[in-house]
């Protein structure tokens, strides 16, 4: 069978809670902690921050690196991740070019590592697996291996891993040196005839950096997709506002959601569910007008001759009835979980911040066009995309008050 893929659109340990519900005198009534059959339940009904509390990210960046008209060492193709190392150096992973660029703390170019290819230090896939001290681990799905890049920016250890695909994302490294990735089970065997809107199953796999056999620790609903199949082909399309999976390594555990409800599961590395965190309820039914406006934005983004055909595709496309409550998870250096709010406006970035116990602190808004990939105690590193789709590696100040 020939398979054709196409796309249209498009990370705590809580002490065991007592049975029943508890609150503390210094805890607002916006969060309750309870226990159900040994699973801690954290229920949030609102933020803990008051009107004069919270954190903010100013609009002016601390540093911006990258320009479409600059030298090749400073212009980026498709940035996947930006991180600042302990010594102040900035590392930028360009997924399309398969190159990792190093800059000093002032944005001056230092060196690059990597290229496209199949040899040592070359990549066909380029995803950040994690940082351990000053060593950066890169996952290459297509070559089924992970590569260590030393603190000096040189090739380190290369480990072959038994993972068929990482199509639901690289989750990250655990404190013991093992790692978790999320795959999908669509191609685990000959698929039956499938047509329409459906969700595939995601599997979370755990392995180590010595190449040991991989264990499946969790299965959950995965990506929502439109499938059209025949006896010869399977065509998969991502509809507008489709639900995916959200995940991150959070204080040594896996935080995961399939975006069906505003609920986050927290699992031990062996897949044991330890906690359920419930965020405030909201209406997840898709707004018809907002959906139509988003479709028009996508249609306008393609060349004019292709717009009638794209419009027809959107008109005929099955659409989900419900949207995701949130999208991306990130963790910061202080042990908080950051949950990016859903928004019909792709450039809008509001994040819910949870403390290490799972209590909702409040909302932090980052500048339009900025996607954080690393959050430290006083700054954020990430990707800024301007109105011309030019990408920059940026640092922004994070003010906590």
Give me the pLDDT at residue 168, please. Answer: 64
State the SS3 of the chain.
CEEEECCCCCCCCCCCCCCEEECCCCCCCCEEEEEECCEEEEEECCCCCCCCCCEECCCCCCEEECCCCCCCCCCCCCEEEEEECCCCCEEEEECCCCEEEEECCCCCEEEEECEECCCCCEECCCEEEEEECCEEEEEECCCCEEEEECCCCCEEEEEECCCCCCCCEEEEECCCCCEEEEEECCCCCCCCCCEEEEEEEEEEEEECCCCCCCEEEEEEEEEEEEEEECCCEEEEECCCCCCCCEEEEECCEEEEECCCCCEEEEECCCCCEEEEEECCCCCCECCHHHHHHHHHHHHHCCCHHHHHHHHHHHHHCCCCCECCCEEEEEEECCCCEEEEECCCCCCCCEEEEECCCCCEEEEEECCCCEEEEEECCCEEEEEEECCCCCEEEEEEECEEC
Q: Tokens representing 116? A: 């496209």
The residue-averaged pLDDT of 123-143 equals 87
> Has residue 367 got a pLDDT over 90?
yes
Q: Tokens representing 97? A: 């070019």
Q: Which of 131, 99, 208, 117 is nearest to 163 (CA)?
A: 208
> Has residue 317 got a pLDDT over 70?
yes
Model-level pTM? 0.87
Give me the pLDDT at residue 70, please. Answer: 44
Contact between 247 and 256 (Cβ < 8 Å)? yes
> Has residue 234 got a pLDDT over 80?
no
d(CA 278, CA 264): 6
Q: Tokens representing 303? A: 């060349």
54 — alpha (psi -120 to 50), left (phi > 0) or beta?
left
Least confident interval from 17-21, 93-97, 237-241: 17-21
Cα atoms found within 13 Å of the Cα of residue 195, Cβ hemisphere only: 6
> Has residue 212 got a pLDDT over 80?
no
Cβ-based neighbour number of residue 380 at 10 Å: 27
Give me the pLDDT at residue 21, please. Answer: 44
Per the prediction, the chain carries an average pLDDT of 85
> Has residue 24 got a pLDDT over 70?
no
Contact between 242 and 320 (Cβ < 8 Å)? yes
Give me the pLDDT at residue 238, please. Answer: 82
Q: Tokens representing 287? A: 């707004």
Quick one: pLDDT band at residue 316, thresholds 50, 70, 90? Answer: confident
Q: Mean pLDDT: which of 36-50, 112-126, 214-228, 284-298 is highest?
A: 36-50
Question: Beta 246-250 vs 233-237: how paired, if at all?
Answer: unpaired
Quick one: pLDDT band at residue 301, thresholds 50, 70, 90? Answer: confident
> Has residue 102 got a pLDDT over 80?
yes
Q: Residue 38 phi/psi, 5° resolution?
A: 85, 0
The residue-averaged pLDDT of 265-274 equals 97
Name the strands in the sheet holding 326-331, side by side, starting at the edge strand that comes first in the sequence.
Answer: 326-331, 337-341, 350-354, 360-365
CA terminus-to-terminus distance, the chain: 58
Give me the pLDDT at residue 10, please. Answer: 29
Quick one: pLDDT band at residue 167, thresholds 50, 70, 90? Answer: low
Contact residues for 134 (Cβ-Cβ < 8 A; gap 6+): 85, 86, 87, 150, 151
Q: Which of 253, 307, 301 is nearest to 277 (CA)?
A: 253
> Has residue 163 got a pLDDT over 80?
no
The residue-averaged pLDDT of 50-55 equals 88
Give me the pLDDT at residue 32, please. Answer: 95
Give me the pLDDT at residue 344, please. Answer: 85
Give me the pLDDT at residue 192, please. Answer: 56
CA 37 from centroid of its chain's CA atoms: 30
> Has residue 138 got a pLDDT over 80?
yes
Give percent of the chain with pLDDT exceeding 90.
57
Quick one: pLDDT band at residue 132, thresholds 50, 70, 90? Answer: confident
> Has residue 371 got a pLDDT over 90?
yes
d(CA 194, CA 167): 20
Cβ-based neighbour number of residue 230 at 10 Å: 11
Give me the pLDDT at residue 230, please. Answer: 72
Quick one: pLDDT band at residue 26, thresholds 50, 70, 90? Answer: low
Higher-confidence position of 25 and 92:
92
Q: Tokens representing 2? A: 């020939």
Q: Mean pLDDT: which of 14-28, 57-71, 146-160 is highest?
A: 146-160
Q: Which of 119, 121, 103, 99 is nearest to 111 (CA)?
A: 103
> Has residue 237 got a pLDDT over 90?
no
Residue 387 Cα distances to 135, 140, 262, 370, angstroms: 34, 31, 32, 12
């Amino acid at each position: 069978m020939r398979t054709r893929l196409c796309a249209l659109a498009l990370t705590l340990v809580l002490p065991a809670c007592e049975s029943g519900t508890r609150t503390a005198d210094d805890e607002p009534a916006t969060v309750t902690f309870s226990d159900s059959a040994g699973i801690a339940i954290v229920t949030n009904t609102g933020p803990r921050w008051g009107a004069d509390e919270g954190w903010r990210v100013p609009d002016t960046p601390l540093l911006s690196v990258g320009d479409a008209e600059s030298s090749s060492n400073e212009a980026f193709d498709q940035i996947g991740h930006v991180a600042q190392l302990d010594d102040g150096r900035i590392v930028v992973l360009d997924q399309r070019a398969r190159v990792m660029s190093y800059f000093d703390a002032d944005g001056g170019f230092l060196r690059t590592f990597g290229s496209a290819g199949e040899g040592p230090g070359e990549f066909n896939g380029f995803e950040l697996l994690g940082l351990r001290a000053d060593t950066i681990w890169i996952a290459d799905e297509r070559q089924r291996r992970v590569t260590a890049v030393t603190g000096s920016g040189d090739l380190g250890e290369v480990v072959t891993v038994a993972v068929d695909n990482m199509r639901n994302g690289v989750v990250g490294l655990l404190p013991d040196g093992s790692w978790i990735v999320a795959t999908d089970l669509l191609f685990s065997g000959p698929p039956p005839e499938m047509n329409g809107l459906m969700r595939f199953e995601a599997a979370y796999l755990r392995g180590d950096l010595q190449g040991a056999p991989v264990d499946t620790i969790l299965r959950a609903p995965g990506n929502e997709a439109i499938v059209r199949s025949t006896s010869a082909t399977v065509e998969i399309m991502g509809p507008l506002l489709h639900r995916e999976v959200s995940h991150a390594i959070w204080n040594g555990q896996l935080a995961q959601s399939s975006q069906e409800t505003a609920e986050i599961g927290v699992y031990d590395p062996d897949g044991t569910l330890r906690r359920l965190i419930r965020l405030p309820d909201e209406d997840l039914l898709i707004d018809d007008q907002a959906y139509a406006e988003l479709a028009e934005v996508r249609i306008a983004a393609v060349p004019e001759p292709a717009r009638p055909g794209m419009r027809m595709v959107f008109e005929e496309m099955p659409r989900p009835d419900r949207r995701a409550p949130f999208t991306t998870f990130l963790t910061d250096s202080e042990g908080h979980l950051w949950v990016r709010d859903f928004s019909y406006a792709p450039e809008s970035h509001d994040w819910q911040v949870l403390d290490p116990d799972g209590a909702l602190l409040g909302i932090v808004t980052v500048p339009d066009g900025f996607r954080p990939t690393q959050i430290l105690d006083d700054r954020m590193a990430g990707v800024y995309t301007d109105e011309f789709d030019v990408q920059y590696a940026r640092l922004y100040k994070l003010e906590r008050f």
